[in-house]
Amino acid sequence: MDYRILCLGESTTQNQWPILLGDMLNQNDRGLQFKIIDKGRIGTSSMQILSRLEGYLNEYEPDMVVVMMGINDGEWVWTNPTTYEDTGRVRTIMFMKNLRLNKIANYIVEGLRNRYGDAALSEEGVDGVISSSMTPARGEDLKRVLRELNEIVAEGSQGELNHAVKSCMEKILTAPFRAESYYDLGNTYFYMKEYDKAEQVYRAGIRIAPQDQQGYIKMGRMYQHKGEYDKAEKAYRQGIRAVPQSTPAYMRLGKMYVEMGEYNKAEKVFRLIVRRTPRDIEGYVELARLYMQMGRRDRAEKMFKEGLGIDPHNEQIYREMMKYYCRYGDYNKAIELGEARIRENPQDAQRYCVLGGIYRDSGDYEKAEKTFRAALEVAPENDHIYTEMAITYTETHQYAQAQKMYETVIKQNPDDEQAYINLIDLYNRIGTPEKGNRLYERIVKTTTNKFRHCVELGKIYRDQGLYDKAHKMYEMGIQSRPQNPEGYIEMSYLYVIQGRQREAEEVLNQGIERAGYTPNLQGALDNIHIMTRNEKRINRRRAYLRLPTIRNYQKLRNIVLGRGAKLVCMQYPLRDIVPLKEVLGERKGILYVENRENFEEALKDHKYSDLFVDAFAGDFGHCTALGYQIIAAAVRDVVAREVFADNKR
């Protein structure tokens, strides 16, 4: 008898504790076999987990779902926020931050004055900006937008003027009626997580071009990212009303409904797209993906075939159909389709690559290699083919051949950073990390993304015990991007594992001064003592979930319990389970896993670095093997108690 457990989460789940959980549970002598289905995905959010849930439930029909999610939904606050607002230190930080904001306002003012005149931004002087050839209405629009832009930017950004912001400002000053420049600035603020300013800039762009859907779509995307679905829906519908005959806003709205689990609404939107623009293949593809997620395989295949009827040569439809067949294990149909595509055009190297990937996924590595070699005959300088061959060789433990493939890619394209990283991973896999170190050092010298690679190389040196080299890499990373808090956090962790707590605290305070206040920096600062063996008193904090996370947990609860499965909700290490219980309740069928007390106890006898390999969340990070054993044991205890009690009853 099998008992199926579906595990959901992100990088703290994928290929981590679920493997250990299966081993632990299957040591029972009750005659019960546990099947663990690990569907953790690196970098995923609770919204994405929720969007895939129905598909997983249809495909695997689990008896129990274990979920640990939310850390990728945005920054979590793990101390009562009111304590931040009430402290003089934080008020001082915010005051100093606001002083720096005026630099940006001054830049905009001076830029407008230099281009349009000394009094360009005064009530009367704005008239000097307006060309005599402009219509009065157009001139009034420009006056309003320029004034509002100055007000928006005057509210400021952290630290010195961001280079990307400055570049966008220059574009706006050059062409103040070009909406795309405003959208570029809005996007910059969006990626900086300055959402209020992004919203205002998007609105300025919409006023410049009210009949362009892009502004509404970008506004909706921002709201959707924040979990404010009602506002996102309104923005997308405004875009639809602005240009009813255009499909992008419809498509965004439909995809958002899928993300929310509102499949009926999504189906209506996608069907509307197909009716309005029957030759828009994307509508058929999205409908087919939706039906796959809903477990309606026949309908999905029908939509693919309808799309092919409209455009029988559309490559996207064929590739999506092959993915469809592979998803349900029907590799023969996928292979048949792939071979037919090659017969139609034997000079298309990409078609060989797709078929080779299908052979590899089906476990036929010999045919996979043969197909990739056929692709090379067509396109001998295609780096992607060598990479696919390297992956195939790696999966079959032919490491020398895989190394040769990656080296070929680097020889053909010395600037391909990903090829270096793939080769470094291979060196680490086969036990020659020193070769990987030399390659990474080469990347750091030549890369445009110096911060990311400096930090990653610093982690590699740290894990190898090469602390001086790690320190040098972190310093280089911080110098290249002083406004990014991650560099300070990683540097502080390096100090902690060396027993240099005072320096760790200093570098985090430096981070707050340079990068501005963030909960991650503050959390790392609060946890300096937790990361040491000699700390007697463990500081207990509660995790206050963000509203989108709460909503997604509640929807997930309703779906899982509605299917008759049990739901196990697990909190992250060192985080309090109480907030989860408060929002989900003590309903029948819900179980909770506590990972605070077990990790606090472990930290009394172990160093932080014994349990965690990093500190990406401030007070915890990705676990070591020991840390994941603690998590797996906590889940095992809860699951075994419930399952065996059920069997006994």
* Residues 593-628: tens digit of each pLDDT: 989 999 989 988 888 878 887 766 766 788 988 999
Range in 30-34, 163-167, 306-310, 628-632 the model is least confident about: 163-167
HSE-CB for 25 with a 13 A CA cutoff? 27
The pLDDT of residue 635: 96
- Spatial CA neighbour of 467 closest among 430, 435, 504: 504
Positive or negative: CA dihedral 57, 59, 60, 61: positive
Residue 306 structure tokens: 């309808």
Distance of CA 243 to the CA centre of its chain: 31
Write out pLDDT tens, residues 367-424.
999 999 999 999 999 999 999 999 999 888 899 999 999 999 988 887 777 787 788 8
Helix or strand holding residue 39 (H, E) = none
Nearest to 202 by CA among 191, 214, 212, 215: 215
Q: Which domains does the chain have, with CATH numbers?
A: 2-75+547-613+622-648 (3.40.50.1110), 331-380 (1.25.40.10), 448-517 (1.25.40.10)
For residue 459, the tally of other CB atoms under 10 A from its CB is 18
- Least confident range from 90-99, 200-209, 575-584: namely 90-99
Share of the chain above pLDDT 70, in %: 79
| Residues 610/624, Cβ–Cβ less than 8 Å | yes
CA angle, residues 78, 84, 88, in degrees to nearest 5: 155
584, HSE (Cβ side, Cα atoms, 13 Å): 31
Backbone angles phi, psi at 64, to 5 degrees: -150, 145
- 172's torsion region: left (phi>0), alpha (psi -120 to 50) or beta? alpha
Length of the chain: 649
Beta-bridged to residue 66, according to DSSP, are: 7, 568
Distance CA 615, CA 303 (A): 46
d(CA 43, CA 640): 29
d(CA 176, CA 156) in angstroms, rounded, equals 20
User: For residues 388 and 113, which has the higher predicted lDDT (pLDDT)?
Assistant: 388
Is pLDDT above 80 for 96? no
Model pLDDT, residue 527: 64
For 427, residues 6+ apart whose C-beta sits below 8 A from its C-beta are 433, 435, 436, 439
Look at 70-74, 155-159, 314-318, 511-515 and tell me which has the smallest mean pLDDT: 155-159
Closest CA to 483 of 164, 217, 54, 176: 164
Alpha carbon separation from 405 to 419, 423, 435 (Å, rounded) = 10, 9, 16
Residue 242: per-residue pLDDT: 92
246/213 Cα distance (integer angstroms): 8
| Per-residue exposure over 427-443, b if at least 16 CB sit within 10 Å of its own CB, e if not | beebeebeebbebbeeb
- Edge-to-edge strand ranges of the sheet holding 2-8: 33-38, 2-8, 64-67, 566-570, 590-593
Of the two residues 155 and 639, the one the predictor is more confident about is 639
Q: Please check whether residue 142 is in contact with residue 115, taking contact to mean a CB–CB distance below 8 angstroms.
A: no
From CA 511, how far away is CA 592, in angstroms rounded? 36
Q: Which of 193, 216, 185, 188 is nearest to 203 (CA)?
A: 216
Each residue of 266-280: pLDDT tens digit?
999 999 999 988 888
Q: Which backbone phi and psi does 419 adopt, to 5 degrees?
A: -65, -40
290 half-sphere exposure, CB direction, 13 A CA radius: 26
Check pLDDT > 80 for residue 362: yes
- Say which residue the tokens 């985080």 belong to: 575
pTM score > 0.95 for this model? no
Q: Which residue has the higher pLDDT, 528 or 589?
A: 589
pLDDT at 371: 96
